[in-house]
A and B are shown apart, each in its own frame.
Chain A
């Protein structure tokens, strides 16, 4: 049953991602990205990473999509004009993408079976262990990350602030 769910979610995820990069309208691309990110959260639940799935929904699907929509609306005149986005060099880009996929797939298939699946971690304790890891083994990286987020917040305000015309 999990396998069937995986196949369905993977199909949705792939179709949504292709719509993001191939669509003509920017707002639609952003909304397709929301579909892709939400179905990724389902994959995370399938992989017994419930906390990551929740963060994915909260931060990505909630935060990023809102931000992106604001970005689209701030950078286009939305007086009834459709916000179209062009593409260039489709053949070249397609060749590079196929090459990247072929290389990755070759590596993946060549190393198939070298990792034997472990028993799943207990879902009740995963989040607790994750919190403990962040406050013990990964304490310094987490502090650095909070500093980075503060710097990003200040930087974004400074960058996007309206300057005096003088």
Chain B
């Protein structure tokens, strides 16, 4: 007996708001990336839960796409953070306000 869909959705909503909180309050760029990971994870739980309850594989296909895209986003995000650190010696996101070095 799987728990009802509502439980998964509420858990996912709670995780998403935790991620939102981190996204808004963190200042370190890597910590902001971690918060985005939590939000993406919440979305994946939603997709798989709907896939299970509707008996439709499309949800799982979308989850695989979402996971790959998140990995790509983290790779580019970390590359930018490393670049920023090399340039400014600081990874606080609110200090990165210039496009040109």
In the assembled complex, the Cα of A15 lies from the Cα of B48 at a distance in Å of 21
Interface contact A87-B76, CB-CB below 8 Å:
no
In the assembled complex, the Cα of A72 lies from the Cα of B57 at a distance in Å of 37
In the assembled complex, the Cα of A75 lies from the Cα of B82 at a distance in Å of 6
B25 to chain A, nearest CB (A): 4
Q: Which B residues lie within 8 Å of A26 (CB)?
A: 28, 30-31
Q: A37-B41, A130-B61 are in contact. Are A120 and B2 (CB under 8 A)?
A: yes
In the assembled complex, the Cα of A87 lies from the Cα of B35 at a distance in Å of 13
Q: Which B residues lie within 8 Å of A43 (CB)?
A: 8, 45, 48
Interface contact A118-B20, CB-CB below 8 Å:
no
B2 to chain A, nearest CB (A): 6
A interface residue count range (under 10 / 10 to 19 / 20 to 34 / 35 or more): 35 or more
B interface residue count range (under 10 / 10 to 19 / 20 to 34 / 35 or more): 35 or more
Q: Tell me the interface secondary structure of chain A in the complex.
A: helix
Q: A97-B18, A155-B79 are in contact. Are A52 and B30 (CB under 8 A)?
A: no
In the assembled complex, the Cα of A121 lies from the Cα of B94 at a distance in Å of 47
In the assembled complex, the Cα of A22 lies from the Cα of B25 at a distance in Å of 9
Interface contact B38-A14, CB-CB below 8 Å:
no
Q: In this complex, which of B14, B18, B58 has the most chain A Cβ atoms within 10 angstroms of its Cβ?
A: B18
In the assembled complex, the Cα of A100 lies from the Cα of B94 at a distance in Å of 23
Scan residues 38-65 of chain B and give those whose CB is less than 8 A from a CB of chain A: 38, 41, 44-45, 48-55, 57-58, 60-61, 63-65
